[in-house]
């Protein structure tokens, strides 16, 4: 049975913070967006949750699709849902985080990620959406 409702429903996404130590400096993995909104801007890896998908499974899937990372333990960090955070419409994002320990993990940009780069936590560029706020709050935890 299909239900319809008289009110709009928000989209739900996952975003993933991946940290790695490189030469004794903490770095964060960012992807360069291939598509609008914020085309060619840096962002956290992530994307929309499929309608029949568990939230944690979506985080692992999106990370694997955009970066090829599949050897990492993710934990739920926080949920973000400020109105206007996504120009496509009302979007709630569940943010996960993990530390990449496997030094042999191959990383390759894929899906809607045009490129990827590790950035020192003290040299993060301007980011898409509210990802700068997400990272600032993550670093305060």
The CATH number assigned to the domain holding 39 equals: 3.90.79.10
Is the pLDDT higher at 5 or at 76? 76
Write down the number of H helices and E strands in the chain: 2, 7
How many independent structural domains does the chain possess?
1
> Does residue 49 belong to any structural domain of this protein?
yes
d(CA 100, CA 4): 42
**Bridge-based pairing state of the strands 11-22 and 46-48:** antiparallel
pLDDT tens readout for residues 42-98:
999 999 999 999 999 999 999 999 999 999 999 999 999 999 999 999 999 999 999
**1 belongs to a structural domain:** no
- Per-residue pLDDT for 3 more than 90? no
Task: Report how far apart the first and last C-alpha atoms of the chain are (Å, whole number).
Answer: 43
Query: What value does the mean pLDDT take over residues 86-114?
Result: 95
State which residues form the domain around 85.
Answer: 11-140
Task: Answer whether residue 3 is part of any domain.
Answer: no
Looking at the chain, the whole-number percentage of residues with pLDDT higher than 70 is 99
CA-only gyration radius of the chain, Å: 15
Distance CA 133, CA 55 (A): 22
pLDDT band for position 5 (cuts 50, 70, 90) = confident
């Amino acid at each position: 049975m299909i239900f319809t409702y008289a009110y709009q429903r928000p989209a739900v996404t996952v975003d993933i913070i991946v940290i790695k130590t490189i030469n004794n400096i903490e770095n964060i993995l960012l992807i360069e967006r291939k598509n609008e909104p914020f085309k060619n801007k840096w962002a956290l890896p992530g994307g929309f949750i499929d309608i029949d998908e568990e939230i944690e499974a979506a985080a692992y899937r999106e990370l694997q699709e955009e970066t090829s990372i599949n050897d990492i333990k993710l934990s739920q960090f926080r949920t973000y849902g400020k109105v206007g955070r996504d120009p496509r419409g009302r979007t709630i994002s569940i943010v996960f985080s993990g530390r990449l320990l496997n030094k042999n993990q191959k990383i390759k940009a894929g899906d809607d990620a045009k490129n990827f780069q590790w950035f020192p936590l003290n040299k993060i560029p301007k980011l898409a959406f509210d990802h700068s706020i997400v990272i600032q709050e993550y670093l305060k935890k």
